[in-house]
Every structure is written in C-alpha cells, then in structure tokens.
C-alpha cells in the first residue's frame, strides 16, 4: 500500500467546473439566478445537453444542479440534548456537497450519480464476537428501534464542516441487542460492494484509488458511546442515496471519513480492523481520526474550518475547530492518557 497518496477525501485535482466551497450560494441568490437562466433560455439548452456540460453551465452561474431522489418521511422524536439550537446547514448543501467516492470524487458526483441507486432490498448483517448474530432487512432499519433526531456538527478532514439534523438510533442499542462477547474489542463496518450501481468501484480513477468495499472501524468503547449514531435519515426523511442510504454511521467527534455510508456488514472483532483511508495513506489518516485542531494533517492545518452554507456570496464562514469537534464532555475520557499525536 502506498505511503503517500495524491488522493485525499475530496482534495483532488478538481474538474474545471468544480464549485469552490467558498462560493456556495445563499438560497435567495440561488433562486434569482434560476430566473436569469430561464430568461436567457438556458433552461431549454440545459435540457438538451449532457449532464457533463450542464454541470459546467450551472457552475457559470454558481448554481448546483437539482437532484431527483425520492425520500420518505420518518417518525421520530427530537432529542433536545443534541444541538437543537444550532444553525442547520441548508438541505441543498447537505445533499449536493458530498464525499462518497463510490459515486466519484468531486463534491457533486454523488448527488449526480447516485440518484438511481436502489436501496431496496437491503440486508445489514451483524456478526462476529456477538451472542446473537442477526440480519436486518430494509424495513427493520427504521422499525427495530425508536428513531430520534440529533443535530450534529460534521467536520470533514478537508477542513470544511456542516450542521446536519440526522435521524437514527444509537449503535449501542444494536450492539446490546446482539450481545457483544467478552472478546469483542473493536467494531468493523463495511459499505455495500455493487460496482454495477457504484461506478467508482469499477474505475480506480473515478473511485479515488480506494480499495473497495470501503471499510471503517471503532473501538468497542467508541461504538458504545452515546453519541455514536446509526443514521437512517436527515431533515426528517429517509437518507438520500448520496448521504449513505439506507443506513450509515455518524461519529460526530471524528473526521467525517469515519462516518461510513451504506453499510451492509457490522462485525465485532477481537483485533483492530483495517480502515480504507488508513490503507490508502497511513501517515495521513489514522485509525482514531479524532477532530483535533492541535494536530495538523501533514499537508494542511486543522486549526480552523469553513462552515458550509453560512457567510456571504463568495465566502463561507471560517471558524475555529474545537477538540473532538466540540464533543469533549462526551468522549474526552475515552482517550485519557493517550498521546493523540501518536494515535491520530
């Protein structure tokens, strides 16, 4: 495995039409531009040309293409303990500025390429060092546990962030259901492997050099922590495919690449499992990947972040990054006595 990769989660050679994070457009301007596009008759042209060219056209006006995924409303209760007072990142940013390399490496690729992704039927297997292994079907994912809404900050290792209202259930509830044995020290997660539906899994270039299926892992203490969420929805509805439908992990105190999408297997293990980004570039992406402003990425600072969807027309707001992404009170005790430079 290469020591150093030119691929990073999203820091790649950008296509010419790539929308800069600091050029995200407030909704009012976005709508006004839609009118300009219409008035110029470009809407009709847009309909007759390829999505490839269309992307460039939209970028000219700072607009992101609309997506057509179908999501259904969920029944849940808001959990007032988690972020109800935070300013949420607008839905259109949450669903069009994504990292999901199975669908391509640019921020718009997942929303462009995942719309036809079929999530039903789906099976999620929970196995390994557990007393009662189970396989959940698509319907089970939203029915087995009471769902709650939690508003979490998501901090990507690329130094941008969002605030997302997730709907889901604690991973701990699932692990309690299957009963972790005394040998269970780590939890491994695996994304679906389906090259027919996930074009990034077919082409090494389109898939960013990752060896698929995408895999991730947590210690058992991290997995059992109350913050660790299995998400089945956002903004009150089932997950759009580009955000990891039908079920994904959300670990808000860690860099976003730990929050693995479209999970088909959870395996409790006695050893630390391999993780995709660590395999690709071990010196850049560690197993722990806790958000830490004091430990820079080898190629950029982690001291601050761009909050997507806030700020003016050409600038997203730059804010200080907080240790453990501001969740120290929940998780700092997990790492007491650990050198976080060594265990990055």
Say if residues 145 and 229 touch (Cβ distance below 8 Å).
no
Residues 84-103 interacting with ligand MTE (rule: CB under 6 A): 98-102
- The DSSP output letter for 250 is E
Say if residues 216 and 244 touch (Cβ distance below 8 Å).
no
Q: DSSP E strands: which ranges in the chain? A: 77-78, 123-128, 134-137, 148-155, 160-170, 186-191, 215-219, 229-234, 237-238, 248-250, 263-269, 304-307, 317-320
Nearer to ligand MTE, 180 or 215 (CB): 215
User: Shortest distance, CB of residue 215 to ligand MTE, whole angstroms?
Assistant: 9
- Strand 160-170 versus strand 229-234 pairing type: antiparallel
How far from 56 is each of 135, 137, 333, CA to CA, in Å? 43, 40, 48
Say if residues 74 and 236 touch (Cβ distance below 8 Å).
yes
- Is residue 152 involved in binding ligand MTE (CB under 6 A)? no
**Choice from 24, 136, 154, 206 touching ligand MTE (CB under 6 A):** 154
Nearest to 126 by CA among 146, 143, 140, 115: 140
Cβ neighbours, 10 Å, residue 22: 16
Residues 268-327 interacting with ligand MTE (rule: CB under 6 A): none
- Is residue 9 involved in binding ligand MTE (CB under 6 A)? yes
What residues form the annotated binding site for Mo-molybdopterin? 98, 101-102, 156, 191, 243, 248, 259-261
* Part of the chain binding ligand MTE (CB under 6 A), chosen from 33-41, 177-185, 259-267, 288-296: 259-267
- Is residue 223 involved in binding ligand MTE (CB under 6 A)? no
Distance of CA 27 to the CA centre of its chain: 23
- Is residue 241 involved in binding ligand MTE (CB under 6 A)? no
Nearer to ligand MTE, 163 or 260 (CB): 260
User: Shortest distance, CB of residue 179 to ligand MTE, whole angstroms?
Assistant: 27
Q: In degrees rounded to 5, what are phi and psi of residue 186?
A: -140, 160
For ligand MTE (CB under 6 A), the number of binding residues is 17
- Is residue 250 involved in binding ligand MTE (CB under 6 A)? no
- Is residue 124 involved in binding ligand MTE (CB under 6 A)? no
Structure tokens at 222: 């991290």
- Strand 134-137 versus strand 248-250 pairing type: unpaired
Interface map 179-208 toward ligand MTE (x if CB under 6 A)? ------------x-----------------
User: Shortest distance, CB of residue 130 to ligand MTE, whole angstroms?
Assistant: 23
**Choice from 74, 126, 156, 331 touching ligand MTE (CB under 6 A):** 156
Helix runs in the chain, H state only: 27-39, 42-48, 51-60, 91-94, 109-113, 138-143, 171-178, 220-224, 276-280, 328-331
**Choice from 166, 214, 327, 344 touching ligand MTE (CB under 6 A):** 214
Nearer to ligand MTE, 42 or 71 (CB): 71
Residue nearest to ligand MTE (CB): 256
**Choice from 117, 122, 257, 324 touching ligand MTE (CB under 6 A):** 257
User: Shortest distance, CB of residue 314 to ligand MTE, whole angstroms?
Assistant: 22
* Residues within the interface to ligand MTE (CB under 6 A): 9, 98-102, 154, 156, 191, 214, 243, 256-257, 259-262
């Amino acid at each position: 495995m290469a020591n150093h990769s030119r691929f990073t989660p999203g820091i790649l050679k950008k296509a010419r039409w790539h929308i800069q994070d600091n050029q995200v457009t407030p909704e009012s301007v976005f709508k006004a531009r839609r009118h300009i596009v219409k008035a110029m008759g470009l809407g009709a042209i847009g309909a007759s040309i390829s999505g490839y060219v269309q992307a460039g056209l939209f970028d000219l006006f700072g607009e992101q293409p609309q997506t057509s995924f179908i999501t259904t409303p969920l029944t849940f209760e808001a959990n007032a303990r988690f972020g109800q007072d935070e300013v949420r990142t607008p839905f259109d940013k949450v669903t069009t500025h994504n990292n999901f390399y199975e669908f391509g490496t640019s921020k718009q690729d997942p929303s462009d390429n995942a719309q036809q992704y079929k999530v039903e039927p789906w099976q999620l297997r929970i196995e390994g060092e557990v007393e009662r292994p189970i396989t959940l079907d698509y319907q089970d994912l939203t029915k087995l546990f009471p769902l709650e809404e939690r508003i979490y900050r998501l901090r990507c290792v690329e130094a941008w962030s969002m605030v997302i209202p997730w709907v889901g259930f604690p991973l701990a509830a699932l692990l309690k259901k299957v009963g972790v044995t005394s040998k269970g020290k780590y939890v491994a997660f695996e994304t679906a492997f389906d090259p027919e539906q996930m074009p990034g899994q077919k082409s090494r270039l389109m898939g960013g050099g990752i060896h698929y299926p995408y895999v991730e892992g947590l210690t058992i203490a991290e997995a059992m922590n109350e913050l660790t969420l299995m998400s089945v929805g956002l903004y009150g509805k089932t997950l759009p495919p580009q955000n990891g439908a039908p079920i994904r992990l959300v670990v808000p105190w860690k860099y976003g690449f730990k929050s693995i999408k479209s999970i088909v297997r959870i395996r409790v293990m006695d050893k630390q499992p391999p993780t995709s980004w660590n395999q690709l570039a071990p010196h850049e992406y560690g197993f722990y990947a806790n958000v830490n402003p004091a430990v820079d990425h080898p190629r950029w600072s982690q001291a601050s972040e761009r909050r997507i969807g806030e700020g003016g027309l050409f600038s997203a707001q730059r804010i200080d990054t907080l240790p453990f992404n501001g969740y120290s009170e929940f998780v700092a005790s997990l790492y007491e006595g650990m050198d976080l430079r060594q265990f990055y």
